[in-house]
Structure 1
Amino acid sequence: MAMKTLLRLWATFATLLLAVPALAQAPAGYAYYEIGDVAAPTPAPTAQAMMLMGGGEWDVGAFRWFAERAGHGHIVVLRASGAGEAGEEIYRDIGGVLSVQTIVFTDRAAASDPRVLAILEHADGIFLAGGDQSNYVRYWKNTPVARLLDAHVRKDRPIGGTSAGLAILGGTAYGAMDGGSIDSPTALADPAGPAVTLVTDFLHMPRLAHVVTDTHFNARDRLGRLIAFLAAARQKDAVAIGIGVDEQSALCVEADGTARLRTRNGGFAWLVQPKNRPALKPGKPLDWASVRVTGIGPDSRFDLNSLRIIAPVFAGTARVAGGRLLDAPATPGAVLPQ
């Protein structure tokens, strides 16, 4: 009797040993975090919307607007670095949502993982975190994840992105594919060079097909580099324009294309509209005679359909000569590069 009991115990132990590798095996290419009740029904209708954030500290009002457009339901955070801390902040500090699930991608395999795709299908709102946008391009371009991000917005659900997450939302995106983050003087010195790594046919957001976005805008003197990106983009897209967003600020776009800026530090969004298409040669600096720059503040109203701004904060026409940005419009409280 004792021998039979011992044999049963050994059999049970062996079964457990065989099961341990399967239980301990991590999912392919991603880490997963959740907080809240992911199974609860969404309490209100969702609405198509875009939250275009410039990086840095979040504006709480913008996130509460985003939560409302998500029906106060289920938010999914996508990123390629860090962990679940952004989800914790959204759920605990901002509130107004039932759950937040975070997927941290570590390779391209995750973009075809059935669990990942099911989570995205279920999302009421999707937020693309900051980090290195080249990872987003490598992991998501031409994958089911990219197709689901496009489909998410078509289903009248909001999407948001900050820093790297905003960089990839435009129809032409700066992919930072060379492993760096180019600055304005370098980009203006050679806009046709190998460091201006623009990516097209990635994501397809409403009214952003001809838009190049940029972030951390005034804090990192990025007007010059956005103009350089537009010079390169206009070689293929003759009507490309730019939208830059300052840190701690968010351009919140409604379903009808109207937008307003929310900011916690007096920042702006920048509408950059060049005239014509410049001639570019690799290794040569940019010359461009006319680039209209208009500032969008909290009291402004912006229509992405017509590109009309009511009550702009500043406006002017910049030019670039020999790779040097000249005549940039003065912004209230800002110190512009010389």
Structure 2
Amino acid sequence: MTEPAAPHPVETYSYLGPAGTFTEAALKQVPDAVGHEWRSVNNVGEALADVTSGRSIAAMIAIENSIEGGVSATQDALATVPGLRIIGEYLVPVNFVLVGRPGTALADVKVVNAHPVAYAQSRGWLERHLPDHGHIPASSNVQAATSLFEPDSNADAAVAPPGIVEQLDVALLAEDIGDNPSAVTRFVLVSRSRAIAPRTGADKTSLIVELPDDEPGSLLAMLEQFSTRGVNMSLLESRPIGDALGRYRFVVDLDGHVEDERVADALLGLRRFSPNVIFLGSYPRADRREVEYHSKYDDEIFIEARDWLRGILSGEPGEAGEPGEAGEPGTV
């Protein structure tokens, strides 16, 4: 008799919790995550540690906000934790409500608990309606609300996601308190998978690049690797490397896929220029908007140029004025 096959391990996805966060809302957009185990974690480091240790097959983390820009904790982690790849991106509209313990009125609020990013995005509203308020940072948007019920809580209210009123017995003090109703947070799904998603024509490529030295023109030289090949950057942010003043790495998002000839050629130029280039992945854009570029950067242009050079090196006929080329005397 043969032994029964061992059951497949449960696939787990990590996300910044607890339940109800915007990160969970992003994970709900991943079809492959449906029906699998979701593990709530406290921060980006723990989420990525789950992936590198094999506890989870992927982690959903915030990487950019339309108001605050890049999430530095995520950018720094991706630069320093080896073996990670971005396999997808997801957009979540962001807005907030102000909640308090049952019986609390807006006039009673003196101290507000809020995640630093949420606080920054609702600060204008808070300063207009609660000009004398104090702020206590929270580890997540949901935790800001749950902490109101902790015995040692000093906060009177919390900035939280709208769905919090369905999870906790809280008083809704104000709705739509975000300063920008169009605010969006961009999330990425990070894995150890080395497979690259097929290009779709609506793709994005993420990199982290270090400058070779701190001298005039270094940044321009890096940017020229993209501009001379018609590759647009949708994100360019600097982060300190940390080993000395004046040493920076750059987080870069490119419009296009690594299989696009113009992007691949730019990466080759970048690798020759930079002492450290981290390829974070090529993946479909969340908005599915097709990448536009000038026809002079079509794949065929790069392929023909390589074939032309290959012909020179191999001694093949075909150069202007060489025998066998169309236009040679005696040919039609």
**TM-score over 0.5 for the pair:** no
Query: TM-score when scaled to structure 1?
Result: 0.28
Largest Rg, 1 or 2: 2
Query: TM-score when scaled to structure 2?
Result: 0.28
Greater relative CO (CA pairs within 8 A, separation 6+) = 2
